[in-house]
């Protein structure tokens, strides 16, 4: 149980284009989803937290207009990187948390999406 999928797994795009990444909880309802960015040889950095039906809460330094997050249902959250530039190239990971896991913040992670902006 507790499987989280991400699509696509890899994407290459031209500078200036927008890219959408989907995160789905396959066998549970995710009231909260998190988006992380992982730099090479570094840890995961939380970008934003999204609760179903609400606006996302962004971490300091993350541009909300550049990284659009939508959590329209209990099983789907999307991250759209708008007007992508080479410095946005990274590994983006989502995680999902069910309501009953909120107290302990136990999350289940997706496999990640490798974004390369040319």
Partner 1 sequence: AQSVSQHNHHVILSEAASLELGCNYSYGGTVNLFWYVQYPGQHLQLLLKYFSGDPLVKGIKGFEAEFIKSKFSFNLRKPSVQWSDTAEYFCAVTNTGGFKTIFGAGTRLFVKA
Q: Does 107 bind partner 1 (CB under 8 A)?
A: yes
Cis omega before residue 8 (within 30°)?
yes
Instruction: Give me the residue label for tokens 């937290």.
Output: 49
Asked if 99 and 67 count as a contact pair (C-beta separation under 8 A), the reply is no
Site for partner 1 in 5-34 (CB under 8 A): 32, 34
Nearer of residues 14 and 43 to partner 1, judged by Cβ: 43
SS (H, E, C) 43-82: CEEEEEEEECCCCCEECCCCCCCCEEEEEEECCEEEEEEC
| Given 27, 63, 100, 106, the residue binding partner 1 (CB under 8 A) | 106
Q: Does 111 bind partner 1 (CB under 8 A)?
A: yes
Q: Does 64 bind partner 1 (CB under 8 A)?
A: no
Which residues make up the interface to partner 1 (CB under 8 A)?
32, 34, 42-46, 49, 93, 95, 102-112
């Amino acid at each position: 149980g507790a499987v989280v999928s991400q699509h696509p797994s890899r994407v290459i795009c031209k500078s200036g284009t927008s890219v959408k990444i989907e995160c789905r909880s396959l066998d549970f309802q995710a009231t909260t989803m998190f988006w992380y960015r992982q730099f090479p040889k570094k840890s995961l950095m939380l970008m934003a937290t999204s609760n179903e039906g609400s606006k996302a809460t962004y971490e300091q330094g993350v541009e909300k207009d550049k990284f659009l997050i939508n959590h329209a249902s209990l099983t789907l959250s999307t991250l759209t990187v708008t007007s992508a530039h080479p410095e946005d190239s990274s590994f983006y990971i989502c995680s999902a948390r069910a309501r009953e896991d909120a107290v302990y913040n136990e999350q289940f992670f997706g496999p990640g999406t490798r974004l390369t902006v040319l």
